[in-house]
Amino acid sequence: MSIGPVEYIILGFPGNQFNGNIAPELAKLIDNGTIRLIDLVFITKDADGNAAVVELEDHHDVAAFEALDGEIGGVISEEDVEYAAAELEPGSSAALLIWEDVWAKPFVEALRESGAELIEGSRIPHELLAPLETELAAR
């Protein structure tokens, strides 16, 4: 079985403002087969700078994520949590997500079968594309 590209993101929430609003949109991506969620961890940093993992069942604002479809967990390590927490300001939170881009599996399989090797890849931040948004939408 092949696997598509796997990505991770760390989303910051200043002021520990988890609200669950992204859970329904993440669920849509999972349900329509665009992505497969591999792991998801919430991290909080208190006013003294101490970081901790937030258990879904212990925090009402992240409980919406419990309903996400799939076997989630076991991939994000304590080192990963420490890495994500290092950049957090005291009194803020983060979500660390790892997913497979299921939509890209056929393309990746074709690349592998052709002997292609990934030389470089990166996600372009929205801030860099925002000035081009109107032009890109018109294409």
| 31 neighbors 69 (Cβ within 8 angstroms) | yes
- The CA distance from 81 to 83, in Å, is 5
Question: Residue holding tokens 């890209």?
Answer: 104
**Are 49 and 114 contacting, i.e. CB atoms less than 8 angstroms apart?**
no
Question: pTM for this structure?
Answer: 0.81
Q: Which two tokens stand for residue 6?
A: 């796997």
Mind listing the pLDDT tens digit for each residue in 71-115? 677 899 999 999 999 989 999 999 999 999 999 999 999 999 999
Which residues does 43 contact at the CB level (< 8 Å), separation at least 6? Answer: 51, 52, 53, 54, 81, 84, 85, 88, 93, 94, 95, 96
Q: What is the pLDDT of residues 29-78, one digit of tens each?
A: 999 999 999 998 889 999 999 999 887 666 566 566 766 766 677 899 99
Contact 34, 103 (CB under 8 A): yes
- In sequence order, which residues have a C-beta less than 8 Å from that of residue 72 and are 6 or more positions away? 37, 38, 39, 40
Q: Does residue 13 carry a pLDDT above 70? A: yes
